[in-house]
Amino acid sequence: MSRIYTYYITLVGVVCAYFIINLFFFIDLSARTVHSDVLQGFLIGFGLAVVTAQIYGWIKATKVYGWTTMFGLGVPGNGMLLRAASTLLFPGPVVVPEEAMYWKTHTDGARHTLDGQYNYVMRFPTGGLPPNNAFWSLTMGDAKNHFVPNPINRYSVSDRSGLTQNDDGSVDIYIQNTAPAGHESNWLPAPSGKFILWLRVYLPGAAILDRTYTVPPVVKIN
């Protein structure tokens, strides 16, 4: 969660609490006007809507190893509350799971903020690449979720990137600011500061749809 977003939610909560307390304890009810009632109703309603969507998002989100996803966003009948929650907590595209699934993280597996001053590796075990019937990609974004300029003009890696396997069939993706010696084919360039990762899987396989697939953690290395 970004600092600006945290400030925003805090401000909404404070404003909402102020009007509720002021309404019940400090306002002369006989002196109320339609204008003031409408204004207070709007602000309180807006605040409660944001808080409700935030709480619902926390309940519905799936979080593993720092990765966050939400299932069923585009499924008919799931309603506006789930979509509002996804906008606040997980601003990913709203599609049915059978079309695409998305995971986002700004922390490593130990819940420390991802930062380009450190080196990381994301290891997919043997046979553990994201199952799909189209393709998958791991995309880098800076703290504002913008593409990161880099010397090899690489902004994501995928099953079409020619990734090199280890001897046991596992695949390591090196996420760092400078090229990893001997592992350039598996390098996803990171900025010098904080960053965000997105994992996208298109036409996901059964293991993703039945929620048995686990996205591996991003691990900080020496």
Mean pLDDT per 10-residue segment, the chain (222 residues): 59 68 64 70 74 77 90 78 74 81 94 96 97 97 93 95 96 97 96 96 96 96 84
Report the candidate in 143, 172, 140, 158 with the shortest Cα–Cα distance to residue 202.
Answer: 158
Structure confidence at residue 1 (pLDDT): 47
Phi, psi of 123 (to 5 degrees): -105, 120
Angle between helix axes 3-25 and 34-60 (nearest 10 degrees) is: 140
Structure confidence at residue 187 (pLDDT): 98
Q: How far apart are CA 116 and CA 45, in angstroms?
A: 41
**AA letter at 144:** K
Structure confidence at residue 13 (pLDDT): 67
Structure confidence at residue 162 (pLDDT): 93
Structure confidence at residue 31 (pLDDT): 63
Q: Indicate yes or no: pTM above 0.85.
A: no
Structure confidence at residue 78 (pLDDT): 76
- Beta strand pairing call for 119-124 and 218-221: antiparallel
Structure confidence at residue 2 (pLDDT): 53
- Beta strand pairing call for 195-204 and 156-158: unpaired
Structure confidence at residue 20 (pLDDT): 67
Structure confidence at residue 45 (pLDDT): 75
- Beta strand pairing call for 119-124 and 132-142: unpaired
Look-up of token digits 């020496």: 222
